[in-house]
């Protein structure tokens, strides 16, 4: 059975930081859409649950692209799916 997605996802393999409470975790974004992202952990945080709030910081080539408030919507062994709920910091990218 194929999953129906409301927003197209793009592969986007970049490092990120995920903040849960007062803890930061290194992770890697595997794919992203306008509504959320799939994140892979090097060492998954303990006691992570669907509905938890967190913040993800993304960067490209050392430059910060932004920090987004998220909600955890799916938890797997080393991956979590995040739904973006807000933007805390955003940097314009000009080419």
Mean pLDDT of 60-67: 71
SS (H, E, C) the chain: CCCCCCCCCEEEEEEEEEEECCEEEEEEEEEECCCEEEEEECCCCCCCCCCCEEEEEEEECCEEEEEEEEEEEEECCCEEEEEEEEEEEECCCCC
Write the CATH number for 76: 2.40.10.220
Looking at residue 7, what is its pLDDT?
57
pTM given for the model: 0.78
Q: How confident is the model at residue 49 (pLDDT cuts 50, 70, 90)?
A: very high
Looking at residue 4, what is its pLDDT?
47
Residue-number span of the structural domain to which 45 is assigned: 10-86
Mean pLDDT of 53-70: 82
Number of domains in the chain: 1
In a domain, 32, yes or no: yes
pLDDT digits (tens, 9 = 90+) for 3-35: 545 556 666 678 899 999 889 999 999 998 889
In a domain, 30, yes or no: yes
């Amino acid at each position: 059975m194929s999953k129906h997605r409301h927003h197209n996802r793009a592969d986007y393999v970049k490092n990120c930081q995920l903040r849960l409470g007062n803890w930061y975790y290194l992770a890697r974004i595997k794919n992203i859409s306008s509504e959320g992202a799939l994140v892979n952990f090097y060492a998954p945080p303990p006691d992570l649950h669907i509905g938890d709030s967190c913040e993800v910081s993304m960067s490209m080539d050392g430059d910060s692209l932004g920090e987004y408030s998220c909600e955890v919507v799916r938890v797997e062994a080393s991956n979590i799916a995040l739904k973006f709920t807000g933007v805390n910091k955003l940097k314009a990218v000009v080419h």
